[in-house]
Structure 1
Amino acid sequence: MIRSPFFGIAPAVLLVAGCANSGANYKPVVDGPVGPAYEADLAACQSLAASSPTVDGNTAGSAATGAAVAGASSVIWNGNSDNLAEAAAVGLIAGITGDAVQKNKQRESVVKNCMRGRGHNVVG
């Protein structure tokens, strides 16, 4: 059976693309009453968070590191390189996914800090 690396990587790419702006769409918890400017401020802060790139140099570095570590670990633990490509592909997916999760957390922080800067009492 012929296996294409595309079929292993495609779901991860689709997952990352689907979650691309989930951090930017974050709606923070505000303590106290919500003022009249809340919705406009939230939209502006979410737009600011969404402006950061989804894929950058860190994404490539995380993917390469994941692939290298998984490939090397596979060779060390198995004593051969029979499944080196599969292990590297899994590491690549793990690196990309980890980077996407980190970027979403950063976007949530941007929304929270922006809302605080606009005078809202953000607690979470």
Structure 2
Amino acid sequence: MYRSSYSWDDALDDEALPAARSARLTHIGHDTWIGHGAIIKPGLTIGDGAVIAADAGVTHDVAHCTIVAGLPALFLRRRLPEDPVARLQALAWWHWPHNHLRNALEDFTLVPCARVSGQI
């Protein structure tokens, strides 16, 4: 409880509790999908490209490009083999500026993109 005094007139509030809870940050990587109703324990790291299934309860770190599901969430499989994951991590396209992404858009899609002059 953040404020014990809200429930009991004779209780004092623990002023350190809110700061301690807010210090337990969870780090969620780029290009990550988190399903509806999933719960992630504070202080964990969810890697880039990870998939957390709907209603999963994540109690441990999740590696890059890993799919987890269940309660508690368990490893299901890798999204990609190890080599492409390492190459995506080195590429780090999620840090590219917007215009760089647009110039490389055809590299990310199966359908050629129409370029409209003056819009890039």
Higher relative contact order (CA 8 A, sep 6+): 1
Give the alignment's TM-score, normalised by structure 1.
0.28
Compare the two structures and name the one with the higher strand fraction: 2
Give the alignment's TM-score, normalised by structure 2.
0.29
Compare the two structures and name the one with the higher helix fraction: 1
